[in-house]
Structure 1
Amino acid sequence: MNRRTAARTIAALGTAAILAGGTMGTATAADTAGTGTTRNAQTATPAAYITYLSASREEGAAQTLKEFKALPVAKQNKYLDYLNDPKVLKALMEDAPRADRAESRTSMFDGDVVVESRQQATFAPDAPAGSAALGKLSRGTWESWYQASQKILGVTVTKLKVWVNYYTDGNKITRVNFADGAKRNFNAAVSISMGVPKAWKDGSYANGSVVWEGSIIYKGFGIQIDKRQKVWANEYGYRGGYLKNI
């Protein structure tokens, strides 16, 4: 068994444990009458999914729970079917819009599924105040980030974020300090883990990236999807990012 095969097997087993709600054993599947969709235990019914979200300690769970509860029952069931539809599961992990502007969005499945991307930067100036050459970033420490999120029927399901921290002397970027990432995932059929963040300087650009490994369990079969998420910035404040398959 090679490294990638082993990793995928371990990830799939880990997902099964998560789907089981932290108990030993694998998740059970429930056939949803009249829909042709097989749901896992945590998404078998709206009540089961509400219990799953209520028990989550992950940041953002309360928001997703509120959004889900606000849906009519028919749309709650449609949402749960989407969570367990392999075509939608793959679509949720397809390429997010490239972020060369503040916000971008892509709609699919007649607008029921939306992938959004955002990018922004924060600044901590040198005391007493940062200075800058004409048109360039002020002197100090900057942090640029790129985020991709997926919503189904207006309910936030997944957010993946990467950021890079760097220093500019008011003329050029002289140091890239570090990169990191964070996630929110409220699809009980998907387990997402983050690899080691990477930060580097390439010419005039500060770069940061992470690799996300996603394991989808559907009818007992594991599907592995690896994504690279990257953010970059230069001394003029130009920023961008992407999330794509690797």
Structure 2
Amino acid sequence: MHTPTALVVGGASLALLVGLGTSSASASTDDPAAVTTVTGFQQQLADESKTSPAAATELQQFEDLSPSDQQKLVDYLDDPEVAEAFEHTAATGEALSIKDGDVQTTAKVEISRTPASAGLLSVRSLASTQQYNVTATYAPEQRILGVLITRLTQTFKYVTGNNVVLRTQSCTAAATNFNFTVQLDSKVSRYMLAGGRAECDIVWKGYIAYKAFGVEIDKLQKLVVSGPGIVSESLNNA
């Protein structure tokens, strides 16, 4: 079983994946410490909601919380145990509930198949095998008191036939993050493996601005598929 990795900096233990993700904006702030106040977090969500429907939804969720729960949520953003729970779920697909149920991490796995268009296939290939366009999605997420904080979505499109992967089409990364002390970029790659399998890789590179110092993060999110479906998903140090 995967064990979350932590980094000790200046006496503080931080999971290497602290609120990993990024929204459509830069997900940064000139004063990271200000974000870890109720007012700072609420203002950042309000700014994001001007261009992001997802942020508007989570802003309403946050504003519906009691003042004490709002403070509790903001405090959790700096809690290494909360960060480690998300990393564990992203790496293993195992759902976790911690902090008396306040923090929930889950992983959504979906597979959809449609027959490949006959117009794109030769008569010979049609006679030999039925081909399918397949989309596999892996999306771990974390919610604190019902408010979405981080979601990493990995989408792999490929073609199968005779119960094996015949070719890959695309590998894409999408991240939603409302822990505004994190900046994140991604790089994707895809390739065929032996035995009729294929792999979609995402390298997440980021920077955590934590009070007086920063921590760089470098993680590899991997999705391996075969003809029947998803073989494995993982998140480890790159």
TM-score range, shorter-chain basis? Answer: 0.7 to 0.9
Question: Which letter does structure 1 place at the counterpart of 2:87?
Answer: E
1:206 aligned onto 2:210: no
Which one-letter code corresponds to 2:31 in the other structure? A
Q: Does the aligned pair in 2 maintain the 1:216–1:222 contact within 8 Å?
A: yes
| Contact 1:83–1:189 (Cα < 8 Å) also in 2 | no
For 1:82 and 1:183, the matched residues in 2 are separated by: 20
Q: Is the 8 A contact 1:165 1:177 kept in 2?
A: yes
- Matching residue within 40, 64, 75 for 1:48: 40
Asked if the contact 1:173/1:235 (under 8 Å) is kept, the reply is yes
Deviation at 1:54, TM superposition (A): 1.8
For residues 42-66 of structure 1, give each alpha carbon's deviation from its aligned partner in whole angstroms, at most 9, with x where no partner exists: 3423x43222112113452122212
Distance (Å, rounded) in 1 between the aligned partners of 2:82 and 2:106: 16
Residue in structure 2 matching 1:69, options 49, 63, 68: 63
Structure 1 residues 59 and 200, CA, compared in 2 at 3 Å: closer, same or farther? farther
**1:215 aligns to 2:219 (yes or no):** no
1:126-151 residue CA offsets vs partner (Å, 9 max, x unmatched): 24699xxxxxx962211111111111
Q: Which of 114, 118, 121 does residue 108 from structure 2 map onto?
A: 118
TM-score (norm 2): 0.74
Asked if structure 1 preserves the Cα contact closer than 8 Å seen for 2:86 and 2:105, the reply is no
- Tell me, yes or no, if structure 1 residue 160 matches structure 2 residue 152: yes
Find the aligned partners of 1:64 and 1:94 in 2 and give their Cα distance: 21
- Conservation of the 8 A alpha-carbon contact between 2:96 and 2:104: yes
Distance 1:75 1:69, change over 3 A: same
Secondary structure of the equivalent of 1:193? strand
Contact 1:212 1:227 (C-alpha < 8 Å) held by counterparts: yes
Q: Which residue of 1 aligns with 2:6?
A: none
**1:58/1:244 Cα in 2 relative to 1: closer, same or farther (>3 Å)?**
farther
Shift of 1:176: 1.2
Distance 2:88 2:209 in 1: 20
Q: Which residue does the alignment assign to 2:87?
A: 94
Q: For residues 89 and 216 of structure 1, what CA distance do their matches in structure 2 show?
A: 15
Gapped regions of structure 1 (runs ≥ 5): 1-16, 21-25, 29-39, 131-136
Unpaired stretches in structure 2, ≥5 consecutive residues: 1-25, 122-128
> SS of 2:104's equivalent?
strand
**One-letter amino acid of the structure 2 residue matched with residue 227 of structure 1:** K
Q: CA distance change for structure 1 residues 191 and 228 in 2, over 3 Å: closer, same or farther?
A: same
Q: 1:217 to 1:88 in 2, by over 3 A?
A: farther
SS of corresponding position for 1:67: helix
In 2, distance between residues paired with 1:213 and 1:155? Answer: 24
How large is the RMSD of aligned CA atoms in angstroms?
2.6
Runs of 4+ in 1 over 6 A off after TM superposition: none
SS at match of 2:46: helix
Tell me the equivalent position of 2:136. Answer: 144
Pick 1 or 2: higher relative contact order, CA cutoff 8 A, min separation 6.
Answer: 2
Give percent identity, aligned residues only: 27
Q: What is the aligned partner in structure 2 of residue 229 from structure 1?
A: 221
* SS at structure 2 position matched to 1:176: strand
TM-score (norm 1): 0.72
Match of 2:95 in 1: 105
Mapped to 2, the partners of 1:63 and 1:182 lie a distance apart of 18
Distance 1:169 1:147 in 2: 25
2-side partners of 1:88 and 1:65: how far apart? 24
Quote how far apart the aligned CAs of 1:82 are.
Answer: 1.4
Q: Report the Cα offset of residue 69 of structure 1.
A: 1.5
Following superposition, the deviation at residue 192 of structure 1 comes to 2.1
